[in-house]
Amino acid sequence: MGESHAVDLDHVLAADLPLAVSNFNDVKTIVIQVNQMVRNLIDRIKNKELPTAQGMSFLDVKNQLLLKYLLNLNCVLLKKVSGESIKGSNSIERLVEIRTMLERMRPVEHKLRYQIEKLLKIATTGKFESNDPLQFKANPDNLISKVGNDDSSEDEEKEKKSGVYVPPKLVPMKYDGDETADQRSSKITEKIRRHALSSSALQGLKEEFMDTPLEVVESTANASKMSVARERQERQEYEETYFTRLPFTRQERHSSRQQYSSKALASELSGMGTLPEKKRKSQGGKKKDVESKIAELKTLLKETEDNLTRFEEDFNIRSGQKSIQRNKPWKPLWLRRIGVNW
C-alpha cells in the first residue's frame, strides 16, 4: 500500500513539474518587467517629470496603504516559498488591518469619484470646455456623514439611566454604492425576466410544447396555486370519466371568477403580479423608467411567444400533423366565462 502511494505521488509530481517550472519562469519574467517599470517611475519622480506635491491627499493615503499591503503580502509569500510557517506572523495582522482600512475608504472614494474623473479628464486632454458638466464644482456637504453622533449619545444616556441594553440603530448592510444606474437597471430587468419566465402560464405552455422532462417543484410560495390546480385537474378527470358535471359552491364560483379574469390572466402572463411592491420616490424620471421596463417586458413576452410558436411548428412537423388535436370533449367553464375560444 505504501509503495503504491509513493508511485502515485511520483507520477503526480512528474506530471506537474513542467507546468510548475513554466509558471516560475513566467513569474520571473513579470517580476523583472515590474522592477524595470518601478525604476523608471522613481527616476521620473526624482527628475520632477511627475509632480506629486499638488495631488489629492486621499489618493496619497490610498497609495501608501496599497504599497504597504503589497510589501506585507510579499513577506507572506516569501515565508511560504521558504517552507516557513506563517502562524503568528505580524504580516498577517498588518494585512488584515490594511484591508479593513481600504474597505472603509470605499464610501469616501465613491463620493470623490466626480472630482477625480474631472481632474483625470483635464490631465488627459489638457483642456476643459465651459459647458462641460464635469466643470461644475463638487458639493463639499457630500463628504459629511449623514449619520450624526446624536443617536449614539442618546442610546448611551438611555442605557445608563434605565440599565437596559439598547441595540445600536446601525446594522451591517451590503455596500452597493459602487453600482451604476445601468447595473441597477440590468438587475431589475433580469428580475422581471425571471418572474415572467417562472409564471404558471408559461410553465404550462412549456410542458405542453417542449420535449423536456416534466419538472416537479414543491415550494411554499406557489403551494396555494398548486393545490387549486390539483383540485381543478381532479374535477376535470372525474367529469370526463363519468360524463357528468359537478356542482360549484358559491365560494368556488367566486374564487374561479377572480382567478381566471382577464386582469388576472394578463398579470400572470406578464409576470408583474409576482413582483414585490416597493416604495418609490415621487420623481419625474420614475415614470419613464417604468414605461421603459414595460416596453422591455413586452419585447421579452413577444420573443417567448415566437419561441413557443416555433416549438409548436417543430412538434407538428415531427408528428406529421397540421395542427395539434386536443382530446378534450368539453370546454372549461372558466374559458367560457371570459369568452376565450377553445
Same domain assignment for residues 327 and 211 = yes
315 within domain boundaries: yes
3-state secondary structure the chain: CHHHHHHHHHHHHHHHHHHHHHHHHHHHHHHHHHHHHHHHHHHHHHCCCCCCCCCCHHHHHHHHHHHHHHHHHHHHHHHHHHCCCCCCCHHHHHHHHHHHHHHHCHHHHHHHHHHHHHHHHHHHHCCCCCCCHHHCCCCHHHHCCCCCCHHHHHHHHHHHHHCCCCCCCCCCCCCCCCCCHHHHHHHHHHHHHHHHHCCHHHHHHHHHHCCCCCCCCCCCCCHHHHHHHHHHHHHHHHHHHHCCCCCCCHHHHHHHHHHCCHHHHHHHHHCHHHCCCCCCCCCHHHHHHHHHHHHHHHHHHHHHHHHHHHHHHHHHHHHCCCCCCCCCCCCCHHHHHHCCCC
Domain boundary (106, 138, 170) is at 138
Compare 252 and 153 and report the one with higher pLDDT: 252
Model's pTM, two decimal places?
A: 0.37
94 — pLDDT class (breaks 50, 70, 90): very high
Per residue in 99-131, pLDDT tens? 999 999 998 888 888 888 888 887 777 766 666
Domain count, the chain: 2
Same domain assignment for residues 196 and 302 = yes
Q: Which stretch, 41-55, 78-92, 215-229, has highest mean pLDDT? A: 78-92
Compare 223 and 117 and report the one with higher pLDDT: 117
- The predicted structure's pLDDT at residue 156: 55
164 within domain boundaries: no
Per residue in 295-326, pLDDT tens? 777 777 677 667 666 666 655 555 454 444 44
Domain carrying residue 262: 181-215+224-275+288-338
Same domain assignment for residues 114 and 17 = yes
Same domain assignment for residues 56 and 197 = no
Same domain assignment for residues 123 and 263 = no
